[in-house]
Amino acid sequence: MEVWRLLRTWSGAPGYNMALDEALLLGSARPTLRLYTWEPEALSLGYFQRARDVPNLERAHAAVRRLTGGGAIHHAHELTFSITAPLEHPLYAGEVRGSYERVHAAIADALATFGVHAELRGTSALQSDREGTGMCFEHSTDLDLAWSGAKGVGSAQRRTKGRVLHHGSIKLDRSPLDASVAAIRDVAPSATLEQVAERLLASFASRFGVEFETAEPSKAEGARASERTSHFTSNAFVHRR
């Protein structure tokens, strides 16, 4: 059975969170699942977004720009995850959309244990869709996970140099800047972050046929992340478009 690294990095600073995912993307070939949260809460822009197209940017306590595409996300009341692995890994085999379907199916299994009936959006429009906000959870695609007429899981990928980074945000609750999302606590009010994390691990293990080995970032990954933290919060990078 394949063994993945498991990193739990709670309450990470916004710039460090993005820098560590970059280090993991460029680092070890061993598949790694990272589970994390943000302190303080922050707004992340998609890699290709223009800052002026995101009105909520002015309201955010902190801001970063991600390596992955898509819309802006307010990282509050959520479990954030990243998966890094070689492009040839079976998780990413075939067309790109297939990898999203596999990851989202595993997340849907985990959510089902809370009574949340999450499904791919498909061709149906969502009540949470809004024009002109630039927010990830107010713009949906057919591969997004939704329930109760709204998007509750947003994810995106970065593929480079034979490696893949898959970012994702799973909403436990709403926030002032992400008020239209579907949230786990709408269905399961007592659900905790720790419970969501453990059930996600169980679902990934079952779906992908893997085991997890709890670890820490390597010295090289930690050093790179520390060196690059300020880049992801810099005015030049956040407002580069």
> Is the residue at 241 inside a domain?
no
User: What pLDDT, on a 0 to 100 scale, did the predictor assign at position 124?
Assistant: 82
In the prediction, which pLDDT does 150 show?
Answer: 97
Q: Which residues of 173-194 are buried (b: 16+ CB within 10 A; e: fewer)?
A: ebbebbebbbbbbbbbeebebe
> Helices 96-112 and 193-208, interaxial angle, to 10°?
130
pLDDT at 152 (0 to 100):
97
Q: Contact 107/145 with Cβ under 8 angstroms? A: yes
How high is the pLDDT of residue 129?
A: 95
Measured in whole angstroms, the distance separating CA 149 from the mean position of its chain's CA atoms is 20
pTM beyond 0.75? yes
Q: 58 lies in which domain range?
A: 2-234
Known catalytic membership, residue 136? yes
Task: Give the pLDDT of the chain (241 residues) as one tens digit per residue.
Answer: 999 999 999 999 999 999 999 999 998 778 999 999 999 999 999 999 999 999 999 999 999 999 999 999 999 999 999 999 999 999 998 999 999 999 999 999 999 999 999 999 998 889 999 999 999 999 999 999 999 999 999 999 999 999 999 999 999 999 999 999 999 999 999 999 999 999 999 999 999 999 999 999 999 999 999 999 999 999 999 999 7
Distance in angstroms (rounded) separating the CA atoms of residues 63 and 74 = 9
Cβ neighbours for 115, distance < 8 A, ≥ 6 positions apart: 187, 188
- Adjacent-strand bridge partners of 219: none
| The two three-digit tokens of residue 58, written as one number | 């002015």
| 240 lies in some domain | no
- Sign, Cα dihedral of 63, 67, 69, 74: negative
In a domain, 184, yes or no: yes
- What pLDDT, on a 0 to 100 scale, did the predictor assign at position 93? 87
Residue 124 lies in a domain: yes
* Pairing state between β 210-214 and 163-171: unpaired
Q: How many domains does the chain have?
A: 1
> Given this model, what pLDDT does residue 52 score?
96
Pairing mode, if any, of strands 2-12 and 32-38?
Answer: parallel
Q: Which residues pair with 101 in a beta bridge?
A: none
Q: Is residue 239 part of a domain?
A: no
Distance CA 62, CA 102 (A): 32
Residue 29: the pLDDT is 76
- Cis geometry, peptide bond prior to residue 31 (ω within 30 degrees of 0): no
Nearest to 200 by CA among 119, 90, 117, 103: 103
Antiparallel, parallel or unpaired: β 42-45 and 63-65 = parallel
Give me the catalytic one of 136, 184, 191, 225: 136
Report the CATH number that the domain containing residue 11 is assigned in CATH.
3.30.930.10
Q: Is residue 119 part of a domain?
A: yes
